[in-house]
């Protein structure tokens, strides 16, 4: 049995693509509710330019609030996404506990997202990650568009492995495979994860799937069978990268947790509390969310 960890990214990846800005007080309410669910890691936001991604403009304020004594359970880790050194400085100043950062295996996506090629971004991210690690922070690096790109299509698996080898050479072992465009399928997931495990006994793989073509949960199950412990998902199935060709929602947290519940895994996570947040998001955005459990409820 895997010691499964759920990394809730709805407050960042879920909201970054939305046109409607969620007020800070509403975000605080949603995060408060998520903190009570038993989820392990909550991604509060990203340290990006507020003009480019206005939905993330209050990330610093949110971290300052939730890192105050008594404002969160001690066992829950608060993560934040950074793109560069400036983002790291902001995150260090407001109490981020776990820094997430990465590069895209697609040059086109990388340039749209960061203004740099994959190789340029890789050198910069490795240096940023090592700075954060030297400061005693938890660090997770990612390979975005690891299973395909909305602009370029198929991404050679050896290109993804090459990026991961660079991470491992620099002592960075917590690595997320991000299916930014939602192109992944189970056989591909199995091939890539199996190859990565051959590279190092110390590597900790996380997976971040989007449900663009309806294979998100199947890909999560495949990763679980292979021994992956860290799963990133978003309440209500919100989300999508604003810098990819077809932004599509993340694997839905309540649907993912429901799968693990049905398998008698992670029964400590409160599905009803997650659903309450998802219902609030559905009401706020005034549209039907892709969450299956929002439509049918939990199995009694």
Query: pLDDT per residue over 130-171, tens digit each?
Result: 999 999 999 999 999 999 987 778 989 999 999 999 999 999
As a three-state string, the secondary structure of 112-178 is: HHHCCCHHHHHHHHHHHHHHHHHCCCEEEEEEECCCCECCCECCCHHHHHHHHHHHHHCCCCEEEEE
> Which tens digit of pLDDT belongs to each residue from 171-194?
999 999 999 889 999 999 999 999
pLDDT along the chain (300 residues), means of 10: 87 92 98 98 96 94 97 96 95 97 82 72 94 97 91 87 97 96 96 97 96 95 97 91 58 97 94 97 94 90
Catalytic residue among 94, 100, 149, 241: 241
pLDDT (0 to 100) of residue 109: 66
Computed over its alpha carbons, how large is the radius of gyration of the chain?
18
220 counts as catalytic:
no
CA dihedral of 35, 39, 41, 45, whole degrees rounded to 10? -50
Q: Decide the pairing of beta strands 41-47 and 5-8.
A: parallel
Domains and CATH numbers, the chain: 5-296 (3.20.20.70)
The pTM for the full model equals 0.94
pLDDT (0 to 100) of residue 248: 63
């Amino acid at each position: 049995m895997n010691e499964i960890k759920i990394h809730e990214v709805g407050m960042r990846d879920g909201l970054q693509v939305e046109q409607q800005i969620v007020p800070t007080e509403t975000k605080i309410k949603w995060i408060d509710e998520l903190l009570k669910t038993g989820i392990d890691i909550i991604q509060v936001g990203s340290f990006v330019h507020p003009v480019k991604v206005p939905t993330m403009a209050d990330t610093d304020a949110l971290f300052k609030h939730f890192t105050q004594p008594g404002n969160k359970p001690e066992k829950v880790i608060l993560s934040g996404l950074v793109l560069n050194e400036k983002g790291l400085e902001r995150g260090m100043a407001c109490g981020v506990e776990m820094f997430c950062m990465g590069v895209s295996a697609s040059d086109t996506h990388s340039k749209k997202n960061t203004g740099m090629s994959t190789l340029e971004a890789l050198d910069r991210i490795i240096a940023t990650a090592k700075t954060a690690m030297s400061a005693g922070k938890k660090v997770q690096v990612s390979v975005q568009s690891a299973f395909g790109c909305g602009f370029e299509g198929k991404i050679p698996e050896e290109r993804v492995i090459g990026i991961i080898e660079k991470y491992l050479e620099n002592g960075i072992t917590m690595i997320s495979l991000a299916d930014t465009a939602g192109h992944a399928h189970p056989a591909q997931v199995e091939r890539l994860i199996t190859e990565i495990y051959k590279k190092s006994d110390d590597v900790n793989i996380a997976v971040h799937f989007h449900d663009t073509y309806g294979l998100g949960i199947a890909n999560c199950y495949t990763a679980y069978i292979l021994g992956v412990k860290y799963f990133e998902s978003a309440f209500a199935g919100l989300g999508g990268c604003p810098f990819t060709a077809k932004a599509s929602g993340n694997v839905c947290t309540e649907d993912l947790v429901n799968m693990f519940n049905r398998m008698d895994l992670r029964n400590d996570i409160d599905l009803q509390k997650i659903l309450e947040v998802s219902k609030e998001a559905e009401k706020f955005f005034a549209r039907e969310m892709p969450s299956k459990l929002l439509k049918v409820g939990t199995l009694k």
